[in-house]
Amino acid sequence: MNESSRDFLIALWLISGKGAIGNRGYERVYAGAIGNRGYVKPMSQTPVHAKIRRLYVPDANYFITFVFQNRASILADPQNMALFRATLRTAKEYHPFTMRAYVFLADHLHLLIFIPTTTNISKLMQSVQRNFTRNYKAAHGIPQPIRLWQRGFWDHVIRNEQDFANHFHYIHFNPVKHGYVTRPTDYPYSSFHEYYQRGWYTADWGATQPDEIAHLSFE
């Protein structure tokens, strides 16, 4: 990434994030157990309910992680990938947000989004998960209840410019990290291509893991 691209990335964070939030950044994992890969487990008749407390920061950038139940490779099917993207676009109409970066992998996905004051992040995420499950069942003719997602989602409020840049790059390197491709430019379901076309990245960026994101892991 060249100097002008780094400056623009900082400007993007400043415009969307309304400045740093200091030590109020918040991150917590809310996920069910991970079992065998490759299948969707039927929903239990006695689901476990837990109270989840989240810190809501108005007009902030959030890094979000969703994981499918049992790490099932739901989005490996192009039909399911298209269905999820359509579901996300519809959710955006009811719960507005600005997409900054994304990557959709077979068994999980990461988003970097700006959430305005008018949007409740929990309602947005619940809308995405609930409606994709409904759409998935309809598309595949599944009448019975299923648990398609691990419970909840993982969220992190972006603290400052460097935090924004680290998560931005982490998202775009993720397909290489998980062995899908050897370069981010070869993976189609990522916002990398938009920023590559803008000249923010070179074609060989991400062939090796950038040092600034080596300490990050949100899987």
Has 94 been annotated as catalytic? Answer: no
- Determine contact, residues 146/137, Cβ cutoff 8 Å: yes
Return all residues near 52 (Cβ < 8 A) that are at least 6 apart.
Answer: 28, 30, 152
Nearest C-alpha neighbor of 108 from the set 68, 157, 153: 68
Q: For residues 63 and 155, give the distance between their C-alpha atoms in angstroms, rounded to a whole number.
A: 6
**CA-to-CA separations, 89 to 102, 182, 205, in angstroms, rounded:** 13, 29, 29
Return all residues near 100 (Cβ < 8 A) that are at least 6 apart.
Answer: 12, 16, 61, 112, 113, 114, 168, 191
Q: Quote the tokens at residue 117.
A: 């004051």
State whether the Cα torsion 121-66-202-195 is positive or negative: negative
Given the residues 62, 189, 195, 201, the one annotated as active site: 189
Catalytic residues: 189
